[in-house]
Amino acid sequence: MPQTATPASPSSGVRAPIVNDCSIQVATVNGSGSQTANNTLLRAIFQMGIPVSGKNLFPSNISGLPTWFTIRVNKHGYVARRKEIDILVCMNSDTAVEDVKNAPVGAAVVYDETLGLEKHRADLVFYPVPFQRLVKECCPEAKLRKLVVNMLYVGVVAHLLEIDVAEVTKALQKAFATKPKAFELNKAAVEAGLAFARASLVKRDPFKVARMDRTAGKILVDGNSAAALGCMFAGVTVVTWYPITPSSSLCETLIDYMKEHRVDPDTGKATFAIVQAEDELAAVGMALGAGWAGARAMTSTAGPGISLMNEFIGLGYYAEVPTVIFDVQRTGPSTGLPTRTMQGDVLKTAYASHGDCKHPCLYPSDVNEAYEFAQAAFDLAEELQTPVFVLSDLDLGMNLWMSEPFAYPDKPLARGKVLDDAGVAAMKDWGRYKDVDGDGVPYRTLPGTPGDGKGAYFTRGSGHDEYGRYTESGATYVRNLDRIGRKIDLIKTKGPAPVVDVQGAKLGLLAYGTTHWAIVEARDQLKAEKALATDYCRVRAFPFSDEIRAFVAAHDHVYVVEQNRDAQMLGMLRMEYPELATKMRSVRHYNGLPVDARSVTDEIVRLESNPVASNGAR
Amino acid sequence: MSTSIPAVPPAPAPAAGPKVNRLGLPVTDYQGAKSTLCAGCGHDVITNTIISALWEMGVEPYRVAKMSGIGCSSKTTNYFLNRSWGFNAVHGRMPAVATGALLANRNLISIGVSGDGDTAAIGMGQFVHLLRRNVPMVYLCENNGVYGLTKGQFSPTADYGSKLKSGVVNDLPAVDLCAMAIELGCGFVARSFSADRKQLLQVLRAAVAHRGLAFIDVISPCVTFNDHPGSTKSYDYGRANEKPIHELGFVPTWEKATEEVDVPAGGVMDVEMPNGGTIKIRKLERDFDPRDKVAALNLLRECHDKKEFLTGLFYVDPQAPNFIDLLDLGPAALATLPQSKVRPSKAVLDQINDELR
């Protein structure tokens, strides 16, 4: 008997199909094993050549709390979070009513029939499914039903959206490549879901997918894995870390890759050392010790770890020790929302530690930049002899993104100015902190360099002269600190240049990191809806390149869009470019969810129509 | 140490000139900058003993990494081995930096110098994990029970009831770093006294031959802030109360024939060190075997209760696996592996890209 749970609504006439433009939100309980099901759906759509993105909104909890996975399908390739949900899959009775109440008019709802959600709204399309009966039929083993039930909604959604079943099967094969029994079980569940939907549900929502050719050759990967790969191909040898969400999977993925690809085939010995430290202080201390002794060394953390590392970071800066620090940012302050995203450490990392400090920071926007900036960071750390930060965030690090495949590095590792014993002898009157080349970058030596110790020196965080000798001389201190400042400024030309799109608009937008994806879409919205043309500058490194100054100067005003409360990047820009301070306005988004285009567009429209409003907005 | 002491034949003695070690180096090649500590500081004696030990053991200066934290003791790494690299890190965090340096270059001979505040107060967390990992290095705690650079506050190793110059009495129990080290798996644990240079020299010689962490707690009086009556870390107190549990000497392999070393006579127990050499131990009053962990812990408990100041090698386990061994590294330093060893091929990246499609 056909399901007719939806009461007639004013808009219940057949709507025109909406093809390849929808958001699917799956609400489950965390720990219920829904991730494989969600990835199967996402991958099947991806394999159909349709641009897709997935975002996992999960709690700081092992199991039992609500979690939502959102899949956005968009023919134009927009991959930012979208606020509106078109298809809800309600597998969590705790959140189902609230989720349904918040759904936009016309959304489709797939749900367990016992939840009775249809009585809460008259303007949605309801698809009740007897999940418990179906899972009993297709999964004889009771203890596996909790996991397998998720594959039922995969089948139901595949039918409703017209996802190619062959692609679902292919995605399942990938997920269960080494587990044939699990594959069969899950495939049976998908088929049961499909069969039920085919026989019992009448399609009354407009959403569907249709094959495209926008994903051929592309990969699907999360930013933490991408950064890990970048580290491996950058030749990292020492990795010291302390577990923290959302950064842990960076080092854990790196461990897996290194064990597979970085054991010397000739000797069977590891070409790396990875150590789980006792805390972030030790993690960064070890990374600095290793960098001092010449290794490509790194650590990875999130905001709380950065706070702990501050003293050591200043030592690295002042004693000029290379290391790479990944900060996969999450929502602060304090423990904050550990499983939500934010661009909250931008200011803290740029000037981390006491005294005058300024650190090179790289801001990847996508997985390919996570991969490439990881490599650039090791080169820059060794070339400039200083700690370098790579600022990712939870959205980039832990969510799946489409990307062109990673390119093999075409440049050799840049190991910087390192002298051996003969090199020290050849250089008259070598001193560890002497500016020989006029670029502020001195020549260093490595402990253990064979010879008679001509290049031996004393490394200290206390005042030192050009030879590393202790001094409290004010003049020497100023000379040394100014040289370090000049050295760090080399990032302006050596770091990744900003990506600037200038079309002659009066209005400029400036963003960095994952905010980029909302900007891409917001620019199109501003143009289409308000005929507002915008130019765009995407910042990719600090200290800021001169191009960024030129961009701000060339526009009537510039909206700096970022994901934190205090307009941290705007503050840094105003500090660096005081003469341009009043040209810049702020658009901020900081509720822990990745910024969406609509929020940006609406705020810019509001500020454009009422410029006075921007005065209070930092 | 993580690697064996190189088997370099004794250098032929030059016809004239200064005495040289087996590398042909005079002791002046092991000296450092002039000390800026107070005259009579116990730390300066330790510095000079380190110089003697490393010279006598024929350690190549270029292989030595001198690691320290912050404090009077941590300054001393600048006062020995000018031809070695030194790293004066942040307060209490030398263990992490030293561990990292050894990860990068396992062939370094790491000598860490810390103090009681640096180790037992701010650095307790890192010290505990250094012990637990058995990182192959020599770690000296120059222990005077007070903070010197900040003018004489108690540190956590000050004995219960010990008095400051100002008359303030310590009302908290002392941390016994040696007992803690044994408990946490350290395979070489000794206590010495900076005024007992003879014993300290032999302990240091043996420590250099150890394959794991060698922890030496050296009671080292602070002449300015903790050398008065009522202090249990003063020269007078130490001289009156130090009780060596045994006499010991370390004989490196190459010295056997020459018998230059001061070997205790009488009932000698030999402890063979895997890197070459033998610790010769002669019993005194006690019947004590430093290879017996439970006996070592009992001894320290007993001396704590009796308020005794025992010195000597409390515990030695020459075979304990060290942290670097556990990492299954090749013999070369990770730091200087060529690109061909550390950047996988394009085929590997192609394979990974395929897996992600």
**Which CATH number does the domain housing residue A153 bear?**
3.40.920.10
Which range of residues forms the domain containing residue A520? 499-615
Contact A294 B104 (CB under 8 A): yes
Mean pLDDT of A374-385: 98
Using a CB-CB cut-off of 8 Å, the residues of chain A touching B86 are 456-460
Q: What is the pLDDT of residue A236?
A: 98
Domain count along chain B? 1
Output the pLDDT for position A7.
43
Task: Count contacts between A and B (CB, < 8 Å).
Answer: 225
Note the pLDDT tens digit of each residue in A163-187: 999 999 999 999 999 999 999 999 9
Q: What is the least distance, in Å, from the CA of B165 to any CA of chain A?
A: 29
Distance from CA of B55 to the nearest CA of A (A): 14
Q: Which SS3 state, helix, strand or coil, does residue A499 take?
A: strand
Tens-place pLDDT, residues A36-75: 999 999 999 999 999 999 999 988 888 889 999 999 999 9
* pLDDT > 60? residue B342: yes
Are A39 and A176 members of one domain?
yes
Structure tokens at B230: 């009522």
Residue whose C-alpha is closest to residue B123's, from A463, A26, A600, A278? A278
- According to DSSP, residue A119 is labeled G
CB–CB contact B336 A446 (8 Å): yes
pLDDT bucket at B15, cuts 50 / 70 / 90: low
Task: Note the pLDDT tens digit of each residue in A386-408.
Answer: 999 999 999 999 999 999 999 99
In a domain, B16, yes or no: no
User: Cβ contact (<8 Å) for B61 and A405?
Assistant: no
**A289–B103: do the CB atoms touch at under 8 Å?**
yes
Instruction: Say whether B90 and A448 touch across the interface (CB within 8 A).
Output: no
Taking CB atoms and an 8 Å limit, are A273 and B333 in contact across chains? no
Residue at A548: amino acid letter: I
- Give yes or no for residue B60 having a pLDDT over 90: yes
Of A236, A311, A459, the CB nearest to B86: A459
CATH number of the CATH domain containing A585: 3.40.50.920
Residue A10 has pLDDT above 60, yes or no: no
Tell whether the torsion through CA atoms of B240, B245, B251 and B252 is positive or negative.
negative
Domain boundary among A403, A430, A454: A403
Euclidean distance between CA atoms B331 and A264, whole angstroms: 12
Q: Is residue A116 part of a domain?
A: yes
> A308: burial class by Cβ within 10 Å (0-12, 13-18, 19+)?
middle
pLDDT of the residue at A13: 60
Could you tell me the pLDDT band of residue B283, with boundaries at 50, 70 and 90?
Answer: confident
Domain of B282?
27-355
pLDDT bin (cut points 50, 70, 90) of residue B13 is low
Within-domain flag for B122: yes
- Partners of residue B89 in chain A, C-beta under 8 Å: 285, 289, 315, 461
Residues A507, A487: one domain?
A: no
Tally: H helices and E strands in chain A: 21, 26
Regarding whether A520 and A555 lie in a shared domain, the answer is: yes
| Chain A residues touching B24 at Cβ < 8 A | none
Angle between helices A131-138 and A180-200 in degrees, nearest 10: 140
Q: How many CB atoms lie within 10 A of CB A293?
A: 31
Measured between alpha carbons, how far is residue A55 from residues A72, A79, A145, A394, B316 in Å? 8, 10, 25, 10, 55
What's this model's pTM, rounded to 2 decimal places? 0.95
pLDDT number for residue B5: 45
Q: How close B160 comes to chain A (CA, Å)? A: 30
From A397's Cα to the closest Cα of chain B, the distance in A is 16
Q: For residue A31, what pLDDT is reported? A: 82
Q: Residue B261's domain is classified under what CATH number?
A: 3.40.50.970
Last residue of a domain, one of A492, A521, A551: A492
Indicate if the alpha-carbon torsion angle B261, B262, B267, B269 is positive or negative: negative
pLDDT band per the 50, 70, 90 thresholds, residue A618: very low
Per-residue pLDDT reduced to its tens digit, B154-193: 999 999 999 998 899 999 999 999 999 999 999 999 999 9
Tell me the per-residue pLDDT of A585-594, one tens digit each, with 9 for 90 and over. Answer: 999 999 999 9
* ipTM for this model: 0.95
- pLDDT band for B3, please (50, 70, 90 cuts): very low
Q: How confident is the model at residue B76 (pLDDT cuts 50, 70, 90)?
A: very high
Answer yes or no: is A11 within a domain.
Answer: no
Check pLDDT > 50 for residue B257. no
Q: What is the mean pLDDT of residues A544-549?
A: 98
Number of domains in chain A: 4
| Per-residue model confidence (pLDDT) at position A613 | 54
What pLDDT shows up at residue B11?
54
- Calculate the alpha carbon distances from A539 to A543, A561, B22, B145 in Å: 10, 11, 59, 53
Nearest CA in chain B to A470: B78
The predicted-structure confidence for A136-145, as pLDDT tens digits, reads as follows: 999 999 999 9
> Per residue in B202-219, pLDDT tens?
999 999 999 999 999 999
Q: Which of A271, A456, A460 sits opposite B88 (nearest CB)?
A: A460
Selecting from A292, A452, A470 the residue whose C-beta is nearest the C-beta of B62 gives A452
A5 lies in some domain? no
Indicate yes or no: CB of B103 within 8 angstroms of CB of A456: no
pLDDT at B259 over 70: no
Confirm whether A299 is domain-assigned: yes
List the single residue in A262, A315, A449 with the smallest CB-CB distance to B344. Answer: A262
Query: How far is residue A568's CA from residue A585's CA, in Å, rounded to a whole number?
Result: 12
Q: Of A457, A474, A492, which residue sits at a domain end?
A: A492
Which among A217, A421, A462 is the nearest to B88, CB-wise? A462
Residue A280 sits in the same domain as residue A186: no
Percent share of chain B, pLDDT over 90: 87
pLDDT value, residue A6:
44
Contact call for A406 and B89, based on CB within 8 A: no
Tokens of A5: 């749970």
Identify the pLDDT of residue A561: 98
Nearest CA in chain A to B36: A470
Name which of A143, A105, A147, A146 is nearest A124 in CA terms. Answer: A105
The overall average pLDDT reported for chain B is 92
Integer CA distances (angstroms), A313 to A282, A285, B127, in order: 12, 9, 20
SS3 A528: helix
Which amino acid is residue A358, in one-letter code? Answer: K
Q: In sequence order, what DSSP letters do the residues of B31-78 get, joined into one string? A: B-SPP-SPTT-HHHHHHHHHHHHHHHTT--GGGEEEEE-SSHHHHGGG
From residue A80, alpha-carbon distances to A53, A273, A289, A342 in Å are 8, 37, 40, 14
Q: What is the mean pLDDT of residues A233-257?
A: 98
Q: Are residues A243 and A136 in the same domain?
A: no
The answer to whether residue A536 sits within a structural domain is yes
* Chain A closest-CA separation from residue B162 CA (Å): 33
Give yes or no: residues A363 and A238 share one domain.
Answer: yes
Cis ω on the peptide bond leading into residue A246 (within 30° of 0)?
yes
A542 touches A352 (CB < 8 A): no
For residue A568, is it within any domain? yes
Same domain, yes or no: A380 and A333: yes
pLDDT of residue B268: 81
Question: Dihedral (C-alpha) A514, A518, A523, A524: value to the nearest 10 degrees?
Answer: 130
Residue A67 and residue A49 in one domain: yes
Q: Is residue A409 part of a domain?
A: no
Mean pLDDT value of segment A546-554: 98
Give residue B17's pLDDT. 82
Spatial CA neighbour of B172 closest among B157, B193, B187, B153: B157
Which chain B residues touch A456 with a CB distance below 8 Å?
61-62, 82-86
CB A36 within 8 A of CB A226: no
- Cβ-nearest to B335 among A240, A285, A293: A293
Quick check: A189 and A135 in contact, CB under 8 A? yes
Query: CB-CB: which of B90, B328, B342 is closest to A269?
Result: B328
Is residue B159 in some structural domain? yes
Give the 3-state secondary structure of residue B114: strand
A489 CA to chain B: closest CA distance, Å? Answer: 25
C-alpha span between A64 and A149 (Å, rounded): 16
**Residue A234 shares a structural domain with residue A270:** yes
Buried b (16+ CB within 10 A) or exposed e, A421-454: bebbeeeeebbbbebeeeebbbbbbbbbbebebb
Cα nearest neighbour of A318 on chain B: B89
Question: Structure tokens of B350?
Answer: 């192609």
B261-272, pLDDT tens digit by residue? 555 555 689 999
Transcribe A169-228 into DSSP letters: HHHHHHHTTT-HHHHHHHHHHHHHHHHHHHHH----S-EE----SSSTT-EEEEHHHHHH
pLDDT for A3 beyond 70: no
Q: Which residues of B touch A315 (CB under 8 A)?
A: 89-90
The whole-angstrom distance between A174's CA and the closest CA on chain B is 9
- Is residue B14 situated within a structural domain? no
- pLDDT-derived band at A600, boundaries 50, 70, 90: very high
Strand partners, A534: A507
Structural domain includes residue B138 = yes
Comparing CA positions, the residue from B218, B44, B66, B242 lying closest to residue B145 is B218
Residue B287 has pLDDT above 80, yes or no: yes
Residues A236 and A383 in one domain: yes
Element (H, E) at A239: strand A238-241
- CA distance between the termini of chain B: 47
* Cβ neighbour number for residue A145 with a 10 Å cutoff: 17
CB contact under 8 A, A446 and B103: no
Chain A residue numbers with beta carbons less than 8 Å from the beta carbon of B112 are: none
For residues A36 and A183, is the Cβ–Cβ distance under 8 A? no
Nearest to A106 by CA among A126, A123, A121, A128: A123
Specify whether A135 is located in the same domain as A190. Answer: yes
Q: Is residue B3 part of a domain?
A: no
Q: What is the mean pLDDT of residues A76-82?
A: 97
Nearest to A290 among B83, B100, B129 (CB): B100
DSSP code string of A326-395? EEEEEE-STT-EEEEE---SHHHHHT-SSSS----EE---SHHHHHHHHHHHHHHHHHHTSEEEEEEEHH
Mean pLDDT for the stretch of residues A146-154: 95
Instruction: Verify that A487 and A503 share a domain, yes or no.
Output: no
Which residue out of A237, A241, A308, A401 would a mutagenesis test of the B interface target, given it has the greatest number of B Cβ atoms within 10 Å? A237
**Contact across the interface for A406 and B353, Cβ inside 8 Å:** yes
Q: What is the percentage of chain A residues whose pLDDT exceeds 90? A: 94
Asked whether residue A505 is assigned to any structural domain, the reply reads yes
Model confidence at A271, in pLDDT bands (50, 70, 90)?
very high
Question: What confidence score (pLDDT) does residue B65 get?
Answer: 98
Give the Cβ contact number of residue B270 at 10 Å: 9
Nearest to B99 among A286, A405, A446 (CB): A286
- Give the list of residues 6+ apart from residue A279 with CB closer than 8 angstroms, or none: A242, A308, B125
